[in-house]
Amino acid sequence: MANRKMLAVLALLQVLSLHVHGVSAAGKPKHRAGTCHISGFLHGKAGKCNKKNGSDCCVEGHKYPQFRCSPPVSAKTPATLTLNSFAKGADGGGPSFCDNRFHKDSELVVALSSGWLRLDGTRRCGKMVRVHGNGRSVLAKVVDECDSVSGCDTEHNFEPPCPNNIVDGSPAVWKALGLKESIGEFKVTWSDVCRASGYLPGRSGNCEKSNDPDCCVDGKKYPQYHCSPPVTSSTGAVLTLNSFEKGKDGGGPSECDNSYHSDGEMVVALSTGWFNNMARCGHRIKVTANGNSVYAKVVDECDSVHGCDDEHNYEAPCDNNIVDASPAVWDALGLDQSIGEQDITWSDE
């Protein structure tokens, strides 16, 4: 498990910040969008704590805040970079959570606070993130959790729970950012990285061309994506045109409701990463283009992994940043359907 260097101090600062900015005089949280409140307190228990990298070892009886959430993830998510060794016998404790392995200090790897790793609906194990700091940026692989709930035991090197805003980086990450390890912590930003996970060999077939789709070409390699860019309050995307009617270029019935939809309905399909295993099915999203905004219902997936078959109208997999919209959405935005695609932003309602 990941080291929590000087994290009791950071956690205390978070508590004070919540007291000043996020808690009422009666001691109850003020419910504001984007906040992440303490979920409880862990009673400290001292033990054999490896102090390499200046580990913050638990103090017997001290109360440490616990967090089951982290701040919202954006294209530039603020965080505190801390230092950790993921090597065997070092201060990271046991093997990494994601792969049950140890990692050399020369590897570009990180641990994320619990909320960012797995509690916000996104599973980041094994994924790449980009860390920005000191005027530089580095790509690192997520291999572990900086546990924001549990701690003060052998598994966690008798260190307290992490604050909810930690990117715990290996020495290689610190070196790549040009940072001195002796400073212990540094303010950074980070973002998810979405790269092609593979390539699909093209296969042509009976491709219905009513809305000028990207029909597959035999032998051409098409990138596949299991992810999409981070969702923010104004997520950049490309609007494409699709008919969800039976017999049109949308292929089979919509994945969310196994139904077809008329061209007059305000409906959309989202790239695989944004579709998120049907998590947004039935939700309304706000689509904005050229100063105009409309609301549309998510009814289908714009598949970013599969394609070039009958089910997908022999079209190539979608890019990872697509909002595939019905003619009604294009009309409501005042867009010319003949252009085929348009840069937009969208957000969850």
* Cα dihedral 77, 79, 81, 82 in deg (nearest 10): -140
Looking at residue 10, its pLDDT comes to: 46
| H or E, element range at 77 | strand 77-83
Per-residue pLDDT of the chain (349 residues; tens, 9 = 90+): 555 444 444 444 444 443 333 332 223 233 333 578 998 998 888 888 877 766 788 989 899 999 999 998 888 899 999 999 999 877 656 789 888 899 999 999 999 999 999 765 557 888 889 999 999 999 999 999 999 998 888 877 788 888 999 999 999 999 999 999 999 899 999 988 888 889 999 999 999 887 778 899 999 999 999 989 888 888 889 999 999 998 776 668 999 999 999 999 999 999 999 999 999 999 999 999 989 999 999 999 999 999 999 988 899 999 999 999 999 999 999 999 999 899 999 999 7
Residue 291 Ramachandran class (φ > 0 left, ψ -120 to 50 alpha, else beta): left
311 and 321 in contact (C-beta within 8 Å)?
A: no
Looking at residue 49, its pLDDT comes to: 84
Scanning the structure block, which residue is given the tokens 């105009």? 292
81 and 189 in contact (C-beta within 8 Å)?
A: no
Looking at residue 303, its pLDDT comes to: 95
Looking at residue 92, its pLDDT comes to: 58
Looking at residue 248, its pLDDT comes to: 77
**Distance (Å, rounded) from C-alpha 125 to C-alpha 143?**
6
Please list, in sequence order, all residues whose beta carbon lies within 8 angstroms of the beta carbon of residue 209, skipping any fewer than 6 positions away.
Answer: 215, 249
**Distance (Å, rounded) from C-alpha 253 to C-alpha 347?**
25
Looking at residue 150, its pLDDT comes to: 87
Q: How many C-beta atoms lie closer than 10 Å to residue 293's C-beta? A: 15
Looking at residue 11, its pLDDT comes to: 47
Residue 221 Ramachandran class (φ > 0 left, ψ -120 to 50 alpha, else beta): beta
What count of Cα atoms within 13 Å lies in the side-chain half-sphere of residue 332?
Answer: 18
Both tokens of 276, joined, read 């998120």
Looking at residue 234, its pLDDT comes to: 87
The torsion angles phi and psi of 22, rounded to 5 degrees, stand at -130, 10
Looking at residue 36, its pLDDT comes to: 87
Task: Tell which residue, 121, 109, 176, has the closest CA to residue 146.
Answer: 109
Beta bridge partners of 196: none
Residue 175: helix, strand or coil by DSSP?
Answer: helix
Looking at residue 211, its pLDDT comes to: 74
